[in-house]
A and B are shown apart, each in its own frame.
Chain A
């Protein structure tokens, strides 16, 4: 099942579904108010976000999977690729090259989660690919099942391509 948008392409394995999109840009009203709203902060320029999961993704999701992680089962995996502005590419934080495709259980920790939920674990890796800066954020529904479910996540990541802007 192929998905392609915003220069990002993936061929999802059986059992996976995904979204590649850009969050709605803050409106003139939110810019004028100068406050952080549900759709982002004023002067923020949204960049593409990829959500890939081996479970049914809910429509109400945050950039880093809030709303989706609450629904995860023990065998579920969520992969987020969050793009940052072009000024971040090749900077110290994003010096790693290429999409991480070989995640191991030791990379995961509950302290890496954006929102801590019992049994879950996360892994965050910053990288630059095709001149574009990304964060790869992976969440496991249950850390104890990492050995069993991580091959699925690695397979999905290895099927994902990022093209230059």
Chain B
């Protein structure tokens, strides 16, 4: 009888261990599922849902049509600059203001030789069919006389849009090849969109998207509470003076230097402007 009781006790003990093990395993699974966000009610307040995993496409996986250039090897938009060069035919010296103007500008980088560019030259010869966004100026840029034939460019250049022959512009805008298009917001002088396509319809669609995005940004800016007149005037004056001094929007000098590299080396030093903010919106007495 005693042996039976002992045996029964051992069986109960083993079963109890199994149940505890199963419960722990189940708890571990629930914990992992909770970390992944499963089983949460999105409408329930105070329950943060984890974002879905973002699909990653590497630059090597990204391919474009053979007749258009690949995107440049950089993450952000390139820079913008005013255009200076010679006119088609090489007989005229001209400058076109892109930054600090009221209108936006589409800069079309073309070549007289590439087959795809021919479609754009043809499209630009019929300005009414282009349907450019309102308040937008189209400027065509080819390489300078060192890389293009002035007479060839003159035979292609439309009479209604400025055509600037400037190799420097290709460098300034970091253009990967032609045809290539850059949309610049005039008042800020910042690039709002860039890219290319096999014809004007596709490029126009791309630029329209940039324009819509910009319009959305502007409408959101309109909801910002207005600053007092004195502040707004001071900001405008500072912007004008900076621009006149050659400091354009986005200039590196407007931002605090990255001190993480030499952190510790300057311990105890007094930094005159080391508060991490930019200086575009306020001045110091």
Contacts and interface: CB of A to CB of B under 8 A. Distances in A.
Given A21-B91, A56-B97, 19 more contacts: A1-B82, A1-B97, A2-B84, A3-B94, A4-B93, A5-B86, A5-B92, A5-B93, A6-B93, A13-B244, A15-B97, A17-B96, A17-B97, A19-B87, A20-B92, A20-B94, A56-B101, A59-B159, A59-B162
Contacts of A4: 93
Contacts, number: 57
B100 interface: yes
B202 interface: no
B95 A21 contact: no
A88 to B, nearest CB: 22
Given A1-B82, A3-B84, A17 B95 contact: yes
B107 to A, nearest CB: 13
Contacts of B91: 21-22
A146 interface: no
A106 interface: no
A78 to B, nearest CB: 14
Interface residues of B, number: 21
A59 B95 contact: no
Contact of A18 (B86, B95, B243): B95
B31 interface: no
A21 B159 CA distance: 15
A99 B102 CA distance: 30
Contacts of B94: 3, 17-21
Contacts of B95: 1, 3, 12, 17-19
A21 B93 contact: yes
| Residue with the greatest number of chain A CB neighbours at <10 A, chosen from B86, B95, B137, B243 | B95
Interface of A: 1-6, 12-22, 56-57, 59-60
B255 interface: no
B154 to A, nearest CB: 10
B74 to A, nearest CB: 26
Nearest to B139: A56
Nearest to B154: A24
A4 B92 CA distance: 9
B100 A22 contact: no
Nearest to B98: A17
10 contacts: A1-B95, A1-B97, A3-B94, A4-B93, A5-B86, A14-B243, A16-B97, A18-B94, A56-B97, A59-B160
| Residue with the greatest number of chain B CB neighbours at <10 A, chosen from A2, A5, A22 | A5
B117 to A, nearest CB: 19
Interface in B131-190: 137, 159-162
Contacts of B159: 59-60
B103 interface: yes
A75 to B, nearest CB: 10
A20 B93 contact: yes
Interface in B235-285: 243-244
Given A14-B244, A15-B100, A59-B160, A1 B93 contact: no
Contacts of B162: 57, 59
A80 to B, nearest CB: 15
| Residue with the greatest number of chain B CB neighbours at <10 A, chosen from A5, A12, A15, A17 | A17
A14 B100 contact: yes
Contacts of A59: 159-162
Contact of A22 (B92, B101, B160): B92
A41 to B, nearest CB: 19
Closest 10 CB pairs of A and B: A21-B92, A5-B93, A17-B97, A20-B93, A19-B94, A17-B95, A1-B95, A3-B93, A3-B95, A18-B95
Nearest to A9: B93
